[in-house]
Each structure stands twice: as C-alpha cells, then as structure tokens.
Chain A
Amino acid sequence: MSLRNNRLGALALAAAALLSAGVALAFYWAPEDADQGFSQRIFYIHVSVALTAYASFGWAAWKALRLLWRRDERYDLESYTAVHVGVMFGVLTLVTGSIWARISWGVWWSWGERQLVLFLVLFLFYSAYFMLRYSTEPGPRRARMSAVYALFGVVLIPISFLAIRLAENFIHPVVFTREGPQMSGSMFFTFLVSLAGMVALAFALHQTELAGKRLDLRLQELRKALAS
C-alpha cells in the first residue's frame, strides 16, 4: 500500500513540476505570437487541457470496452473515474476557450468556434452519464449501461465534430494542419511540456479518485461482513 502511495505521490509531484515548467515556459520563454500577441499564450493551457479531456474520454471508452469484452466489473470504476476527470478538463476547456474568445474576438461565446461547441455538446452528453449512473441501482447492469454510454461518447466525438463543421462557418485559428504544427520549435516544445503536465495531472487525479473509490467499496464490504 505504501509503495502505491509513493507512486501516486511521485506522479503528483511530476505533474506539478511539469505544469509549473509549462506555465513558466509559456510566459517567459515562448516567443510572442505575431498576430495575437500576449493572449496567445493561453493556447498552451487551453489546447493541452482540451487534448487531455479527449484522452480521458478515450481512456474511459477503452476501459468500457474491456468491461463489456471481459465481463469484468473492475473496469467499471476505472471507466467512471476517467469520465469524471474528462468532464473536469472539459469544463476547464470551455472556461479557457471562453476567455480566449473574449480576448481575441471580444465575445465570451462564439458558435463559430468549433472546438468550443464540440466541448459544450460533450459536456452535456457526459453530464447525462452521471445522471444515468446516479439513478440506476449499482450492479453489473449499471456497469454495462455506463460502459455502453461511454462507448457512444467516443463515437459521438468525431460525428459531432463533423456535424459542427457542416453547420458552421470557420473562424477557428488552425494550428495543426496536415503539414504538421504551424508553430516555431520553442512554441511547440512549450506546448509539449504543458501537454505532458496536463496528462500527468489527469492521470494523478484519476488514480487518486480510483484509490478513494476502491477504499470506499472495501469499507462497504467490511461493514456488510461485520453486520452479518
């Protein structure tokens, strides 16, 4: 147990170090963007938070798939905590994106901003995931229903993206194109450090919550064993 705690602590420390390094690099080292000036620096946080949210949802779906495949309920908690972390990062994406939109375009919300609209759709979708979980009796059926819903989520991401693209005019600044990232090496390095920090943070949060939830379950089992 103490070994695991140490690992968790190390992970949290790594996340903190990487995030601090990312923020420091973003503010003091990365060059100022020619078009957008200082405000562009939120890019390093906004985009890495968004990618981490996608990664969490993807991780949740992977665990959901394993649950349905192996019929092993252990994966239920892992899938659930991944969705939870994903939603937290999704909300952060909405907030940072909104701030960026306010500074760049003068509005807090723009329906022309594809990624933001997509995150709004995903936020609504995954919020319903919690409604589904909390209004269903715990057990294998709830685990499987949640898993199916989490799987629908990763399919909905590209479908919604396509839908929003079909529906909207495009004013989102395109940074990642087929020719690779359109930014200088120092910017890209800063971005990578921020991204690594965010992923480490998400993973640390996921592991912490998972450990807590498992402890809860164990406690319940012990209580039941004592009561009977």
Chain B
Amino acid sequence: MTYLADVAALARKDLLLELRSRDTLPAMLLFVVSTLVVFHFSLPSGSSDLAAVGLLWVAIVFTALLGLTRAFVAEREQRLMDGLVLAPCDRSAIWLAKGLSIVAFLLLAEVVALPAYALFFEPVSGQMVAGILLADLGIAAVGTLLAAMAAASRARELLLPLLFLPLAIPVIVGGVGASVADDPARYLGFLGLYDLIFAILSWASFEYVVTE
C-alpha cells in the first residue's frame, strides 16, 4: 500500500508543480492547436479526410514529445532527482508517478485537440478516441523512461525525439489503424499489447536509468 501512496504523493507533486508554474501544459495546448492549423494549410485542397486522420496522430505524438522533453526539467535543474533517488521509496514509483502526470497532460491536451480537430476537419469517432486513450498509455510509459535517459545526457532535448520516434512507430500504426479500419478491434488489441509489454519493461528498468 505504501507503494501506491508514494506514487500518489509523487504524482501530486508533479501536478502541483505544473499548476503553480504553468510551464508545460499551456505550451502543449497551444502547440497542438497550432499544428492542426498548420496541417490544414499543408493539405492540398481535395485531400481525403484519411490524410487528416494521419496528421492528427502526428500532432498527438509531437505534442507528447513536447511534454516529455519538459518532464524531467525540474528534476535536473533543481537537482531534484538526487533527492528522489535517495528517498526510501521504490524507484519505479517515480516512473509510475511521472507517467501518470504525463497521461494527465496528454488527456488535457486532447480535450482541446479533438474538438479542434472535429471543428477543422471531420467528426471524431468513438474508435478513434479509444485508440488515442490506449496510445496515451504507451506513449507515457515509454516516453517517461526515455525522457529520464535523455535528461541524463548532454544532448537532452535533441536526443529524446531520436530515441522516442522509432519506438512510437508501432503506436502510430495501431492508432491510425484503430481510427480508420472497419474492424478496429485488432488494432486496439495491438495497442493494448504494446502498452502492456512496454509498461512492464519500462517499470522494471527505470531504476537502472536513474541511479548513478
């Protein structure tokens, strides 16, 4: 039970920090709407709505990247990570809490992005929302681990997209498939499988990445 209490306290810390400083979330909201507007102008007239679906997924992944690059900034700049690693809690709790706050940011960004998408392009279907929810989990799970790696390197913001995008390709495949296919079940199942496998892997390996 203490594990969950640790996770809750750490996640609360992240959300409270964001609530006070408003560093990340407003940027993500503005970014996702701007990209949708850019995408509107980048599609030649007469393009099918299917192209817009693909671009929505690009917008989601890039918005997530924006949030992820900020994820460990406080930990690095205030040397908070040293304290967290020294704290008598399981290190994977740090990953879980950070992942949960990333999911929360992503959900809030999508609360803005999906109506904007419906307004600019076409209505959003239920299967698309299901795909996005599952993708959020996978993106947060893998992204949090990779963000911790990138934060420990010199290249930081530059490195994260390079590490993250090859791992995000299956998410894109599953997500776009779930959005456009007539039978989204297998794509949703695939996203669920991805979430499960990479969540377990990231949860188990986070400790190795953050300890000196």
Binding site for B on A (CB under 8 A): 68, 121-122, 124-125, 127-128, 131-132, 135-137, 140-141, 144-145, 147-149, 151-152, 155-156, 159-160, 162-164, 166-167
Contact = CB atoms under 8 A, between A and B. Distances in A.
Interface magnitude class on chain B: 20 to 34
A159 B165 contact: no
A8 B197 CA distance: 39
B209 A148 contact: yes
A166 B190 contact: yes
Interface stretch (B30-38, B103-111, B146-154): B146-154
Interface string B195-209: 001100100010011
Contacts of A128: 159, 162-163, 166
Contact of B163 (A132, A137, A140, A159): A132
A163 to B, nearest CB: 4
A79 B36 CA distance: 42
A49 B199 CA distance: 32
Of A140, A155, A163, A167, most B-chain CB atoms within 10 Å:
A163
Interface in B147-193: 149, 152-155, 158-159, 162-163, 165-167, 169-170, 173-174, 177, 186-187, 190, 193
Contacts of A124: 165-166
Of all A-B residue pairs in the complex, the 3 with the closest CB atoms, nearest first, are A125-B166, A135-B155, A163-B170
B167 A125 contact: yes
Contacts of A147: 208
Of A122, A159, A162, most B-chain CB atoms within 10 Å:
A159
B211 interface: yes
A64 to B, nearest CB: 10
B111 to A, nearest CB: 27
B117 interface: no
B77 interface: no
A164 B208 contact: no
Interface of B: 145, 149, 152-155, 158-159, 162-163, 165-167, 169-170, 173-174, 177, 186-187, 190, 193-194, 197-198, 201, 205, 208-209, 211-212
B173 A166 contact: yes
Contacts of A141: 152, 209, 211-212
A7 to B, nearest CB: 33
Contacts of B158: 135
B162 A68 contact: no
B201 A166 contact: no
B201 A152 contact: yes
Nearest to A117: B169
A132 B154 CA distance: 9
A151 B170 CA distance: 17
B148 to A, nearest CB: 9
B190 A132 contact: no
Contacts of B163: 128, 131-132, 149
Contacts of B193: 159, 162
Of B154, B170, B190, most A-chain CB atoms within 10 Å:
B170
Contacts of A162: 170, 190, 193
B212 A163 contact: no
A94 to B, nearest CB: 15
Given A156-B166, A163-B169, A164-B173, A132 B159 contact: yes
B149 A131 contact: no
Contacts of B197: 155, 159
A166 B155 CA distance: 34
Contact of A160 (B149, B165, B169, B212): B169
A151 B198 CA distance: 11
B155 A148 contact: no
Contacts of A122: 166
A167 to B, nearest CB: 5
Contact of B169 (A68, A121, A148): A121
B187 A144 contact: no
Contacts of B212: 140-141
Nearest to A156: B167
B152 A167 contact: no
